Amino acid sequence: MKRAFWVALTIFLLGTSLASAQPRQGAKDFATLMMLGQTALNMEDFANARVSLEEAVALRPDDPAAHYALGRAYAGEKRYQVATEHFLETLELSPDHASALVDLAAIEENTGRFEQAAEHYRQALAQGPNPGAQRGLASLLAKQGKQDEAVKMLIELAEADVQDAKSRYQLGLVLMQAGDCEGAVGQFQAVSKIDTTHTGALMNLGNCLNRLGRTEEAQQAMERFRATREEEREKTDIQRRGYFLLVEADKKLQQGDLTGAMSHMDEAVRLNPDDPRAHAMRGQTFEAQGAIAKALQDYVRAAELDPSDPVVLVEAGRLLGKTGRLEEAVPYFKKALELDPKMPEAHFMLAAAYFQLGRTEEAGREKAIYDRLMAGRERPAPPQ
């Protein structure tokens, strides 16, 4: 490996974000489109999510994460045939994509193709522990009248993780549907302790208690349900206001108005300080303004709030590297690769970080993986 190449590569990597640090006008870049699409998905704004994610897929037709997110958008719009096509394309590009298998199975279950659904749930489980796949399979078994098998699977999940509210809630539903309200009450009570905002658990707890003749307790549960539902409505309203502020901020960025965009993003973060997308978007804009320390703070916070987003992890790692904190940057790149082993940018930046740290063998290995992943793709060119 030539040192000159590595020096150029390192300068390029640590100075260039996945989402361009220049005011955005015209076409958006892939990372920005993915961020906007994921934000819209989180707010169940499936139409806007689809628009951003279709552009992302057009930019990178061989990116499994983009196809998977677009499949979710189509599924949210109940356009199941197109959603299925994108989940299948995700699996073609990344055969071990368990989430695509689970979502594909859910569509098949909802459309009455139980055999295919069961097969895909089992394929996801064959890759390793997957509570979502196990809950899905349990739901399918219950629909087929196999309540005993469903209950057994859900009890296994609940015992494996006492804080697993989703499995306990589903177990409560299966027990209630089977006529075992006594057993269901215990599960709904457990869920409401784990997650005090779970309105479904509170409502079904009230219903079951009423069936059992425990009317005073049922009334108390329903009062808690109504109060919690109102609180959740207020929270959702704040989240939606924050989301639409980000939409407006993106329009300002498209117009090259960084100041106007920043004003909207500041307000979005103030309204909902636990929104990782708001922090990530503001971090991108801070970097465009040259405020690297503030950009790093926002990206690190975004990664803390949503450690399952590989793009945010890579950006946080890149900015750590840019400020000379390479040892701290490496875990961010590695975590991104645990989530998405085929993410070229993460291998690319990890290679540069390893080189700067003197770990040339590991740098070469990551560079080789990057080269394989980028075969046939257009690559960014290091400066001359």
Q: pLDDT for 267-287, tens place per residue? A: 999 999 999 999 999 998 899
- The chain-wide mean pLDDT, for the chain, equals 89
pLDDT by residue (tens digit) across 62-85? Answer: 889 899 999 999 999 999 999 999
Question: What local confidence, expressed as pLDDT, does residue 32 receive?
Answer: 80
Percent of the chain with pLDDT over 90: 74
Residue ranges matching CATH 1.25.40.10 in the chain: 1-21+290-384, 25-128, 130-213
Q: Which of 300-304, 313-317, 369-373 has the lowest mean pLDDT?
A: 369-373
Whole-number pLDDT of residue 24: 40
Is the per-residue pLDDT at 382 higher than 50? Answer: no
Averaged over 338-353, what is the pLDDT? 89
Return the pLDDT at 363.
92
What is the predicted pLDDT for the residue at 293?
95
CATH architecture of the domain covering 130-213:
Alpha Horseshoe (1.25)
Given a cut of 80, whether residue 378 has pLDDT beyond it is: no
What's the confidence (pLDDT) of residue 384?
34
CATH classification code of 1-21+290-384:
1.25.40.10
pLDDT recorded at residue 174: 95
pTM equals 0.77
pLDDT digits (tens, 9 = 90+) for 121-141: 999 999 999 999 999 999 999
The per-residue DSSP string of 189-249 comes to HHHHHH-TT-HHHHHHHHHHHHHTT-HHHHHHHHHHHHHHHHHHHHHHHHHHHHHHHHHHH
pLDDT on residue 214? 96
> For the residues 240-268, what does the mean pLDDT come to?
91
Q: Which of 20-24, 31-35, 191-195 has the highest mean pLDDT?
A: 191-195
Predicted pLDDT of residue 266: 96
Residue 384 token pair: 């001359």
The CA distance from 295 to 144, in Å, is: 52
What is the band of 338 on the pLDDT scale with cuts at 50, 70, 90?
very high
Here the tokens at position 312 are 């945010």
Contacts of 131 (CB under 8 A, 6+ apart): 157, 161, 164, 166, 167
How large a percentage of the chain has pLDDT more than 70? 90
Q: What is the pLDDT of residue 29?
A: 78
The continuous run of DSSP H or E covering 144 comes out as none
**Confidence at residue 341, expressed as pLDDT on a 0 to 100 scale:** 87
- CA neighbor of 46 nearest in space, from 30, 21, 69, 23: 69
In angstroms, the first-to-last Cα distance of the chain is: 17
Rg (CA), the chain: 23
Measure the CA–CA gap between 68 and 95, rounded to whole angstroms. 12
Q: For the domain 25-128, what is the CATH code?
A: 1.25.40.10
Q: How many CA atoms lie within 13 A of 328 on its CB side?
A: 12
